[in-house]
């Protein structure tokens, strides 16, 4: 056993597993992925669904109900609720005046007088109340806000669908499981041919040095690229990075010289591709053909789809395990549309375990992440 194969071995009660036992284990997972029909789960920022934080505001009770409209217009002009615009300003005869934090060194009457003298005579009493600090994004959050204060709410049907775990139809779910099953089949194929012992594959003990990536163009339901890990020979040639590079080759790019022959159409190891075509007879392999502006102008070709996508734009990426930070950022820059993985990466997973890059607002691209295949 070398250092690499040792790292793949989880703590086991048995001293050693023979090869038949090892691959019977992965075969079990292959069957489970194909036979299970439970919906996939989206990985989102917990803040989206968490109870909304609460802040305190000062409430004024208006003397004359007929003066509410004019009072609100005056308040919006003199005392706008810039950070609390999701709140409805009025509830019966009560009106939100300002956040309590504005009144640290003064009384509410003094504050009103400083904004406009007219406001000092409009209210007969004041109180402090709890209100949601942020606007509700889900109906469940909106329902919770009602016990505090009325809020404006604009339902997002797709977001609600994501949180209900029903974003995919039964047929779509079946298709995603088909491609994830391919990931496991490729994992087994890779380990058999390299002599790597995969050991027991489970959510907690998938080696950090073992991953497989399958990239699919969902517009034509075709596998565009597949890669396994090569990090023992090159420190940054993780399977995701290699798969992105193979996608770049479909667009006349690519940075790395690979030591095995790739198919010109699907950019997959030829031996692996021939094997997969036998195992998955109804799956398409290959990429859409694109003509660059330069080539079209040189050859007088009429261009319909000029340059094609930028790297993985619109593509789905399926992986054995959650990618690390480097690979996750690679997927961000490659503009992938959806990421699917089976096992968490508790050491350095960047889409669920240690971070959720897909939720970082400052990034210039965001994709959806799904797991829950087992």
What is the pLDDT at residue 48?
A: 81
Dump pLDDT digits (tens) for 39-77.
999 998 887 888 899 999 999 999 999 999 999 999 999
Task: Please give the CATH number for the structural domain made up of 3-40+168-371.
Answer: 3.40.140.10
Residue 233 confidence class, pLDDT cut points 50, 70, 90: confident
Residue spans in the chain of domains classed CATH 3.40.140.10:
3-40+168-371
What is the pLDDT at residue 271?
A: 87
DSSP string, 104-145: TTS-HHHHHHHH-GGGGGTEEEEEEEEEESS---SHHHHHHH
What is the pLDDT at residue 47?
A: 78
Mean pLDDT of 295-324: 72
Would you say how long the chain is, in residues? 374
Of 293, 287, 289, nearest in space to 306 by CA: 293
pLDDT at 291 over 70: no
Residue 202 confidence class, pLDDT cut points 50, 70, 90: very low
Residue 163 confidence class, pLDDT cut points 50, 70, 90: confident
pLDDT at 297 over 60: no
Dump pLDDT digits (tens) for 11-29.
333 334 445 555 557 888 8
Q: How far apart are CA 62 and CA 119, in angstroms?
A: 10
Query: CA geometry: angle at 353 spanning 268 and 204, to 5°?
Result: 75
What is the pLDDT at residue 206?
A: 45
The pTM score is 0.78
What is the pLDDT at residue 22?
A: 52
């Amino acid at each position: 056993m070398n250092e690499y194969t040792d790292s793949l071995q989880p703590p086991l009660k048995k001293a050693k597993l023979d090869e038949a036992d090892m691959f019977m284990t992965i075969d079990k997972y292959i069957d489970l992925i194909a036979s299970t029909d439970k919906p996939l789960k989206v990985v989102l920022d917990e803040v989206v669904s968490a109870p909304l934080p609460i802040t305190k505001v000062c409430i004024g009770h208006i003397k004359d109900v007929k003066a509410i409209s004019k009072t609100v217009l005056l308040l919006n002009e003199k005392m706008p609720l810039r950070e609390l615009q999701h709140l409805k300003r009025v509830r019966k005869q009560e009106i939100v005046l300002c956040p309590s934090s504005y009144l640290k060194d003064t009384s509410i009457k003094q504050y009103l007088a400083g904004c406009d003298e007219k406001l000092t005579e409009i209210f007969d009493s004041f109180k402090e109340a709890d209100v949601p600090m942020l606007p509700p994004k889900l109906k469940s959050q909106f329902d919770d806000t009602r016990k505090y204060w009325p809020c404006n709410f604009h339902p997002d049907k797709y977001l609600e669908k994501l949180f209900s775990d029903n974003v995919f139809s039964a047929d779509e779910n079946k298709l995603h499981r088909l491609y994830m099953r391919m990931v496991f089949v490729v994992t087994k194929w890779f380990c058999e041919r390299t002599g790597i012992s995969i050991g027991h594959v489970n959510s907690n003990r998938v080696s950090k040095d073992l991953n497989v990536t399958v990239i699919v163009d969902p517009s034509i339901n075709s596998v565009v690229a597949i890669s396994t890990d090569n990090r023992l020979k090159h420190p940054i040639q993780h399977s995701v990075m290699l798969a992105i590079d193979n996608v770049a080759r479909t667009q006349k790019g690519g940075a790395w010289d690979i030591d095995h022959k790739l198919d010109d159409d699907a950019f997959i190891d030829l031996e692996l591709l021939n094997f997969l075509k036998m195992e998955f007879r109804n799956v398409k392999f290959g990429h859409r053909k694109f003509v660059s502006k330069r080539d079209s102008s040189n050859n007088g070709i009429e261009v319909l789809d000029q340059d094609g996508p930028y790297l993985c734009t619109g593509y789905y990426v399926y992986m054995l395990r959650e990618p690390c930070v480097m690979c996750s950022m690679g997927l961000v820059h490659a503009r992938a549309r959806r990421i699917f993985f089976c096992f968490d990466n508790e050491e350095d997973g960047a889409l669920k375990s240690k971070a959720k890059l897909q939720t970082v607002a400052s990034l210039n691209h965001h994709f959806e992440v799904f797991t829950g295949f087992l």
